[in-house]
Amino acid sequence: MEHFYTTSAYERRVLIDKYGWVDEGIAWKSPKTPTTDEEKKTIKPVYRLFNPFTTDHHYTKDANERKTLIDKYGWKDEGIAFYSNDKGDATVYRLWHPGLITGAHHFTTGKHEYDVLITRGWIGETEAFKVNAAS
């Protein structure tokens, strides 16, 4: 019931071959680590966190949310998952489902998918971050 996002070809392959995950293709394109001062203004890290109690993963570019989940709720920091691009041409929307224990957050660049999931019990949250479209 969970979607997992990674930039690691190795991690992707292990999840598919060893654990039976289904590859849904490229969700979006993220920029590489910013190197110039200009890039650092718009390219920001997106952190990946792991909840050892629910085995859920969460992604956020909000440093305060990251710190709160770690300090108050026992989430484990897995570092930078990838980078967002404030000038990107695609919005990643974040939704939350109150009835799910794992996979309770969903991330999508599809506005239609976002709107449909809201009609099916998901709660639309804010824009998670911006990226570049996969196509």
With 0.85 as the threshold, say if the pTM is over it: yes
Looking at residue 134, what is its pLDDT?
85
Would you tell me how many other CB atoms lie within 10 Å of the CB of residue 31?
17
Beta strands in 1-135 (DSSP E): 43-51, 56-60, 76-85, 90-96, 105-108, 123-131
Per-residue pLDDT of the chain (135 residues; tens, 9 = 90+): 678 989 889 999 999 999 999 999 999 999 999 999 999 999 999 999 999 998 889 999 999 999 999 999 999 999 999 999 999 999 999 999 998 878 789 999 999 999 999 999 999 997 999 999 987
Provide the pLDDT for residue 89: 94
Cα angle, residue 63 at apex, residues 60 and 67 outer, rounded to 5°: 100
Q: Which two tokens stand for residue 30?
A: 């993220």
